[in-house]
Structure 1
Amino acid sequence: MSDTEEATGSQATSKHKLVDTITDLELAWVAPESRGIASTITAQDPRFFTIVEGVGPVNWEVHMPAEGERICSPYTEGGFTMYEMAFKEMGFRLPFNNLEAEIFGRLKVAPSQLHPNSLAFIRAYQILCRYLEVEATVSLFFYIFKIQRQKVGDQQGWISLKHQSSKIFKMFVESARGFKERYYVVKPVTEFALNSLYMDRPVFLEDGSPQLDEEGEQVTEWSLRFPLSWSSEHFLLRTNEYLTAGEDLSPAEMAGFEKLKVYVDGFKPCKVITSLGDVALDKHGKPRIEPRFVNTRLLLSCKTVSAEDTLLGIHFNSCPFFTLFYIQHF
């Protein structure tokens, strides 16, 4: 499966009966799947993962959505929905760092509006940039990735990110079945946590000029860094309007992109191995050889910076860590 494909439609919902109980007319633009899948997580679930922040004082709490509430629903008291796998398998922790919050803010979306593969790209991008000593900027991120929307008729579903020209990362999961029904609400319970969702934003007049106070200083307002619930505002712009053109990258950002690209271009191609352990053959009966990319899932499974560096440092000589498996999808 290519990085432009993700599980949608009947494949993704075959185990679930969609029950659209949402009556909020402001959510009429949301596609049926997002409106219909209730969270299956319960407090008694032995798999329930509740670690959403680092060690230290408790600033966030996890709550189950009430009956009739969905992934796209608005929640009170600064609460917003997140997929369990974002914390359990991808290593996200609250509060979001500046880059993560800026990406959500630039896209004008709640975090759960992004397909989990896209959330994984955000984490993997930061880790690889740190390792290669490249500044991880929002502009560079949106030069590497472009946007794909899941539209059902005139309604909108999840938003995905895919590579533009040079592929760097493998998808976190090939088939994303199972994530859509495992979500919960995270709520700030301290002033610190609540404040992390806001920022001072400059105010501009209708003509685009900055609004100044009586002393000639820029007027700012305390506003959310990104939407907390699913927002249709994202769709007011074309997908390419969120991206960064090459001429808009700084020299340092372009140099950083080239460094990322050279790193991945240095990977040794690998033979494709089937799920049974056999070498896959191409149409000519010869061993199938494919290029390698950063194994996003394996990278995000690392628990320490040292483990990340070790994994990223062995790509030239150790093919098994990046072995490609050919797995048939039904």
Structure 2
Amino acid sequence: MGKSTDPPHFYVFQCFFRDLGVFLPFTQFECNFLNFINSAPCQLHPNSWGFLRAFQVLCSALGIEVSLPVFFHFYQLKIGVPPYDILSLNGSRDGGLFTLYSQSYKNFKQEFFRVALVDVDPLEDEAFYFGGLSKFPFYWCPKPSRFHGVGQLKLTTSEAATIESLAALPRPLDCKLVLSLANSAYKERGLESEYLVLFRLLGFVRSSFADVLCFLCG
């Protein structure tokens, strides 16, 4: 059989970008998560992408390191009927961090597009590849990996302290409100510096844990 001329590609839903603030290339945290659960981007429900994005925004706003084990503490993966059902995140036994972005995400499967990596050299590209290998599964994976909380992952002292701090928040936090913190006029990829400016504009002296908590809780 002849070699396929179709370039490497993956599919994403439009709502990832329109509603949730996802951008390309995906963050390292998002790539690591997709690799851990063995899932292509379009296999994960939009509300679950909302949890991923809100977690990153919240951690950046609070000056907390974005960590997979910390995120896993608050969530578990629900796998539908294999091999083609959508995956979704539910709160762990200790409860999740955020509300659903939308209580009814209707017709999201009808709005998608194909990201084709045309003329991209896997050995030179660093946006979607690392060492010649894709940073996350491009294509639908029939056997995703379930997880329930942290499981066998080892927590550092810092991660354990972060979990304790986040668990003390009045959960669930409003997902849309948390995501709105990313919509400042200073749209730089350096989220930490962006939020420092944003909180000053909101009247906070510094982006301390208490300041952000007051903002989120009204």
TM-score (norm 2): 0.76
Q: Which amino acid aligns with 2:51?
A: F
After TM superposition, list the pairs within 5 Å mapping 1:1-330 onto structure 2: 76-151=6-81, 155-164=83-92, 165-189=94-118, 191=120, 194-200=125-131, 222-234=132-144, 237=145, 239-240=146-147, 243-245=149-151, 248-262=154-168, 264-265=169-170, 293-302=172-181, 303-304=183-184, 305-306=194-195, 309=199, 310=202, 313-316=214-217, 318=218
Query: Structure 1 runs of 4+ off > 6 angstroms?
Result: none
TM-score (norm 1): 0.52
| Structure 2 stretches lacking a partner, 5+ long | 185-193, 203-211
d(CA) in 2 for partners of 1:136, 1:178: 31
CA deviation after TM superposition for structure 1 residue 308, in Å:
6.8
Q: Over residues 274-298 of structure 1, what are the superposed CA-to-partner deviations in whole Å (9 max), with x where a residue is unaligned?
A: xxxxxxxxxxxxxxxxxx5211123
Residue 104 of structure 2 aligns to a residue whose secondary structure is coil
Native 8 Å contact 1:169 1:293 kept in 2: yes
User: How big is the alpha-carbon RMSD for the aligned residues of Structure 1 and Structure 2?
Assistant: 2.6
d(CA) in 1 for partners of 2:141, 2:153: 30
Native 8 Å contact 1:149 1:156 kept in 2: no
d(CA) in 2 for partners of 1:230, 1:106: 14
d(CA) in 2 for partners of 1:308, 1:296: 18
d(CA) in 1 for partners of 2:20, 2:67: 20
Native 8 Å contact 1:78 1:188 kept in 2: yes
Which structure: greater helix fraction?
2
Aligned-residue sequence identity (percent) comes to 25
CA deviation after TM superposition for structure 1 residue 252, in Å:
0.7
Which structure: greater strand fraction?
1
CA deviation after TM superposition for structure 1 residue 128, in Å:
0.7
| Structure 1 stretches lacking a partner, 5+ long | 1-74, 201-221, 266-291, 319-330
CA deviation after TM superposition for structure 1 residue 94, in Å:
0.7
Residue 255 of structure 1 aligns to a residue whose secondary structure is helix
Q: Which has the higher contact order (CA 8 A, sep 6+)?
A: 2
Native 8 Å contact 1:132 1:259 kept in 2: no
Residue 248 of structure 1 aligns to a residue whose secondary structure is coil
Native 8 Å contact 2:69 2:155 kept in 1: yes
